Structure 1
Amino acid sequence: MPPEQRHVYVQVVEGLLQHGLRGQVSPRLRERLRQAGVDLDRPLLPLYPVPLWTRCLHIVVEETYPGTPREEAFRRLARAHVEGYGATLLGRAVMSVMRLLGPKRVMQRLPEVLRGTDNYTEAVLTELGPAHYELRINSVVDAPGYAEALFEAVLQVGGAQAPRATKLREEQDGTVYVLTWTER
């Protein structure tokens, strides 16, 4: 699917901007987001183009974590995003199930969860060993540390101890990550 046809769903935007950043959306951040194309004073749209959403992530990092090293800022943002997504109607249901599943089954369901966030993500999961997986997604995220922290936070919801997501490599049409955690 061409990049201009890729969109994220409203619950992703709502999860971060209305819940994950609760109390942190300054008037300046609100205005910068509005200028970029996301007006928080109006009902959110059902879909947002990925380039616009990526721009919004960068604006939020600049405004919310000034002076923080870029990768750490995106990691903090990802953790806030998972928390915020858990406060949406759909996110509450998804997170409740994840808490019951345990880390291995959360990992096995991750491709399905990712498909529910946008209209384009395809993920291929390969089990390399107990608590050791490779995940290939068909996109490259222009936010260092963001996807890794997002995966770690999701695994943590599932009860994983010391979850770790590491970008193994970027390819022309995707990214490969290694995800591990400590077995109890």
Structure 2
Amino acid sequence: MSAEASSPTSLRVPASMVEGLFVRALPADPDFHAALRAVGVDVEKLLPHYPVEVWQEAMAVARQHFHAGQPRPQADWQLGRAFARGFLETLVGRVIAVTLPMLGPARLVERIPRHLTMGRADMRATVEPLGERERQVRIEARHPLPDFMAGCIELMMERTKVKPQVEVLERAQTSYTLRVRW
């Protein structure tokens, strides 16, 4: 199946997410890029969207290439941090990056539900305040990546000038819960 071929109901990942991780964040490496092409991602010719299955296969390639031997949760956490860093260098991400220090940690976490749907239509989140500097974030997704998201949130929170602690509290087949403190 090509990266463009998919059913009308398939989940899609926008090119800005693919660009953020596989073009901007991770080191350019001919072997890595060849392995990405084999699963449907040509970093030289990005498509507007990719099926989520292609995103997952590309994530597996990145895990193997850059984090071989690490437990998957740790590898996904590192890829989440890398993604956030790279995404903030994309055209879309630069707009967001400028606002992060002014936004502050609490408002950033409160906006997670809206930001997630920009990346994947299947993702839904709820944010529950647990205190002045603590929130619980429950995310529902058909293809969950809790450690990836935790790493991503951690890096974004750091850009608000705080030292965050993000912890995966619960994992399920189609959901997960994170605790975010700062």
Q: Which residue of 1 aligns with 2:12?
A: 7
Cα distance in 1, alignment partners of residues 173 and 69 from structure 2: 31
Q: Which residue of 2 aligns with 1:154?
A: 156
Normalization by structure 2: what TM-score? 0.87
Cα distance in 1, alignment partners of residues 74 and 169 from structure 2: 18
Query: Are the structure 2 counterparts of residues 27 and 20 from structure 1 closer, same or farther at C-alpha, using a change threshold of 3 Å?
Result: same
Cα distance in 2, alignment partners of residues 144 and 55 from structure 1: 16
**Pairing 1:1-184 to 2, within 5 Å after superposition:** 5-21=10-26, 24-42=27-45, 44-139=46-141, 143=145, 145-161=147-163, 163-181=164-182
Query: Are the structure 2 counterparts of residues 59 and 170 from structure 1 closer, same or farther at C-alpha, using a change threshold of 3 Å?
Result: same
Question: Number of residue pairs matched?
Answer: 175
> Which residues of structure 2 form unaligned runs of 5+?
1-6
Query: Are the structure 2 counterparts of residues 153 and 61 from structure 1 closer, same or farther at C-alpha, using a change threshold of 3 Å?
Result: same
The more displaced of 12-21 and 67-76 is 67-76
Cα distance in 2, alignment partners of residues 34 and 113 from structure 1: 28
| Secondary structure of the corresponding residue to residue 127 of structure 1 | strand
Which runs of structure 1 show a deviation greater than 6 angstroms over 4 or more consecutive aligned residues?
Answer: none
Normalization by structure 1: what TM-score? 0.86
> Which residues of structure 1 form unaligned runs of 5+?
none
| Secondary structure of the corresponding residue to residue 145 of structure 1 | helix
Query: Are the structure 2 counterparts of residues 96 and 170 from structure 1 closer, same or farther at C-alpha, using a change threshold of 3 Å?
Result: same
Contact map agreement 1:33 1:56 (CA 8 A) in 2: yes
Once the two structures are TM-superposed, the CA of residue 140 in structure 1 deviates from its matched residue by 6.0
Once the two structures are TM-superposed, the CA of residue 144 in structure 1 deviates from its matched residue by 6.5
Query: Could you give the per-residue CA deviations for residues 95-136 of structure 1, whole angstroms, max 9, x where no partner exists?
Result: 111121111111111211222112222111111111111111
Once the two structures are TM-superposed, the CA of residue 17 in structure 1 deviates from its matched residue by 1.2
Cα distance in 1, alignment partners of residues 142 and 178 from structure 2: 11
Contact map agreement 1:7 1:50 (CA 8 A) in 2: yes
RMSD: 2.0
Cα distance in 1, alignment partners of residues 28 and 105 from structure 2: 33
Once the two structures are TM-superposed, the CA of residue 18 in structure 1 deviates from its matched residue by 1.3
Q: Which residue of 1 aligns with 2:3?
A: none
Cα distance in 1, alignment partners of residues 80 and 174 from structure 2: 22
Whichever residue aligns with residue 158 of structure 2, its letter is Q
Whichever residue aligns with residue 89 of structure 2, its letter is A
